Structure 1
Amino acid sequence: MKGIFSIFRKDDKAFTGLESAIVLTAFVVVAAVFSYVVLGAGFTTSDTAKKTIDEGVKQTTSSVEIAGDVIAKGTASTSVDYLIVTLQLTAGQSPVDIGANNASGLMVVSYTDNATYNPRVDWSQSFIGASDGDNVLEQHEKVELNITVPAGAMLKTPATAVNKEFKIEIKPSVGAIVPITRVTPPQIDAVMNLK
């Protein structure tokens, strides 16, 4: 009898291999779950980074640009009362809602010279050329801003209106600020092209 049961002797070799296979399978499953979590977090982070980069590019690139010259309108050969600037979209930019006028607050124009700073001057707009009738500046449209020089500015004073440097900043609702710096001519006329 002893010979028959000798084939059932205690041998742990097979169990050791089976236990190793189970442990190896557990490691593979844990590694797969961990890699899935890490990849998911990476995709979420990269998507958030992409949105941040896109928003940053949109805010730092200029949405509008000057189309043509800056025109100054004077009265009585002594002062500059209005500045006319024509704007268009820069290439590849999305449409910009500029609002109906200064009161809507979508686009702000500020004025600066060496004696005056006005963060929000009055302006009006009129689309020139092709336009679809709304207040949104779109591709192939141009808008003319008629900017009122603020009271008390050097350009409004007869003795200081000539040869004076001033700066206008056009601040659209989206995109970078468009700075415009010009100098008035030595003689004030009814219409002046400020190059």
Structure 2
Amino acid sequence: MDRAPTCENGFTGLEAAIVLIAFVVVAASFSYVVLGAGFFTTQKAQETVHTSVQQTTSTVESSGPMSILAGSPTTVRDITFYLQIAAGGAGVDMSKVTYTVSSPKTMATFSNMDVNYTWVKQNTDANPLQTAHNGTLSAREMVLVDISPGFDATTMTNNDKFIVEVKPPIGAALPMTSTVPGDMRANTWYEVY
């Protein structure tokens, strides 16, 4: 006796289409998630690269030699130097710059409240009534920085090497190394290298 074929023995075309559509929908949603994660990762990598480049390049540079004012034949009263923006650098808010002065025997950190700024070269103000500088060092500007470290002969004296490190809020620190002259006269300025 021959049996008649039943629907239970095989896949119909409609069932196959439904399964195929389900696989396509699952694959499409999975690929959407993977692409979204890829775009997010790419964006974060790009932000990291831009931040790294910004932080590793120095935004300020010294212009000319460093000078010191002798307080006595064996002490330094003031340290001065000029700062300007490095080529291609963005403006720097000088109120956020810190300075570290270190000698073989001591180290001290100074904020903008502890140093004096003299704007030697500044861009023309857009407002002619504005006489005070806005405090941001911009391209084609130069500022004279004057630090009074308050060191005595026991902390920094003749022939001592010292480092002044300029730390802008964004970008690499700018270290400047010099040596105190072996012989000085009180109240006399010296260029140091």
Whether TM-score is above 0.5 comes out as: yes
2:140 matched residue in structure 1: 140
Match of 1:94 among 71, 90, 97: 90
Paired residues, number: 177
Q: Give 1:57 deviation, angstroms.
A: 2.6
Larger relative contact order (C-alpha < 8 A, sep ≥ 6)?
2
TM-score by length of 2: 0.80
Q: Give 1:31 deviation, angstroms.
A: 0.7
CA distance in 1, matches of 2:73, 2:150: 18
Q: Does the 8 Å contact 2:97/2:168 carry over to 1?
A: yes
More helix by share: 1
SS at match of 2:84: strand
CA distance in 2, matches of 1:162, 1:152: 11
Amino acid aligned to 2:108: N
TM-score by length of 1: 0.79
1:36-92 residue CA offsets vs partner (Å, 9 max, x unmatched): 111111111222232233223322321211111111122454432111111111222
Q: Does the 8 Å contact 2:101/2:109 carry over to 1?
A: yes
Q: Against the structure 1 CA distance between its residues 39 and 62, is the aligned structure 2 distance closer, same or farther, given a 3 Å change threshold? A: same
Q: CA RMSD in A?
A: 2.4
Structure 2 residue ranges without an equivalent (≥5): 126-132
1:102 matched residue in structure 2: none
Q: Does the 8 Å contact 1:65/1:178 carry over to 2?
A: yes
Moved over 6 A (4+): none
Q: Against the structure 1 CA distance between its residues 154 and 176, is the aligned structure 2 distance closer, same or farther, given a 3 Å change threshold? A: farther
2:150 matched residue in structure 1: 150
Quote the sequence identity (%).
Answer: 36
